[in-house]
Structure 1
Amino acid sequence: MPWLDDRGRLFGRINIIDLAVLLLVLLVAARLGLRSRLLRAVNPSTAKPVEAVLVVEDVRQATADAMQEGENVLNTKSNAVLGKLVKKEVRPALKEVETADGRLAQAESPFKKDVYLTVRGPGQVTPNVILMGGYEMRVGASLAVKGLKFAVNTTVLSVKVEE
């Protein structure tokens, strides 16, 4: 018995295109199931308070003003809540400029700001990873976050587990 018959059916029963579509649907469903399982990774009964400091570099003042203390901070890709914005510190962005004698020096930008966001929320702490909202919090990691009126790319500056 041939694998494909003259009408393109596998073993004379299953259309090969229908089989490909079915496999694609199953793969997408498996991927979504895995993703939702990762987002539910924080078990409320074993959660510990975690505080992360995120830095948003080189943004306009309007972006800095849109970030409000007390609002929820979410992961942009999944809408998973990382925690509450408990502290916001706005500083002038530092840029390297060349001086008249050819040296490099740091100067404050008159237009751009660096914003330091302190986010506090429940986290799952294991020997290998600290999760907030199902996402790994590691110093130096890039993280896209959003709030009610802002969406920015951040870098994790520090992570502290509160006992």
Structure 2
Amino acid sequence: MAILDSKGRLFGKINILDFGAVLVILLVIFSIFVFPGTTGSVAQVGSKTVPIEVDLVVRGLNVRDPERLFDKGFTKGGKTNVIIRNQPYGQIGIKSIQVLPRKINVSQPDGSVKELPDPKTNNFSTDMLLTLEGKAQVNESGPVLGNSKVKIGMPFELEGFNYNFNATVIDVRVKDK
């Protein structure tokens, strides 16, 4: 009995093409479980984790009562969920919250301009300065939260129990350990 017959079967039982296909499938499955490859994002290669502070400005947040916003966890020392470029990062600590007074520029009779408090024609608009603190990966191109680089000017989306609004990064401080 020949190893390969005239119809291309091994030992007259198994087609050589079918045997090759089964062998390739088994090799693929074996390689997936034995050599799974690298994990993590490319941004984390060659980086170290350090404390970071990010200053955010919120302009024109429409809220009826800003004090109610601070009741449910959106307080100094609390945590908020952060979404960066539509990618959820997770929770990050709130270091400080400062409600900014609204000011307007008023021209004076002598031609100069003076900054005065806004008479609040819109009582529902609030401006805030927030400082968030957490841990970030730092590589040669700057700090990275999750898989997103943190740069001045980029938007952060903050989400919690009774709020969901956008803020803009105005400062990034990387702390040394």
TM-score range, shorter chain: 0.5 to 0.7
How far residue 91 of structure 1 moved from its aligned partner, in angstroms, is: 1.4
Deviations 1:35-85 (A, max 9, x none): xx65x9568x93211110101012245474314221223117333225111
8 A Cα contact 2:82 2:92, kept in partner: yes
8 A Cα contact 1:84 1:121, kept in partner: yes
Equivalences, count:
125
Q: Which runs of 5+ in 2 are unaligned?
A: 1-39
Q: Which runs of 5+ in 1 are unaligned?
A: 1-36
* Superposed CA RMSD: 3.0
Which position in structure 2 is the counterpart of 1:31? none
Deviations 1:105-132 (A, max 9, x none): 5443322321111100110111212112
**Structure 1 residues 126 and 56, CA, compared in 2 at 3 Å: closer, same or farther?**
same
Q: Percentage identity across aligned positions?
A: 22
Which position in structure 2 is the counterpart of 1:72? 80
**Structure 1 residues 97 and 60, CA, compared in 2 at 3 Å: closer, same or farther?**
farther
Instruction: Pick one of 92, 96, 117 that aligns with 1:83.
Output: 92
Q: How does 1:39-118 map to 2 (within 5 A)?
A: 46-62=48-64, 64-65=66-67, 66-67=69-70, 68-69=74-75, 70-75=78-83, 77-81=86-90, 83-96=92-105, 106-109=115-118, 110=120, 111=123, 112-118=125-131
How far residue 99 of structure 1 moved from its aligned partner, in angstroms, is: 6.4
8 A Cα contact 1:75 1:82, kept in partner: no
Which position in structure 1 is the counterpart of 2:149? 136
How far residue 153 of structure 1 moved from its aligned partner, in angstroms, is: 1.4
TM-score, L = length of structure 1? 0.61
How far residue 159 of structure 1 moved from its aligned partner, in angstroms, is: 0.5
The structure whose Rg is larger is: 2
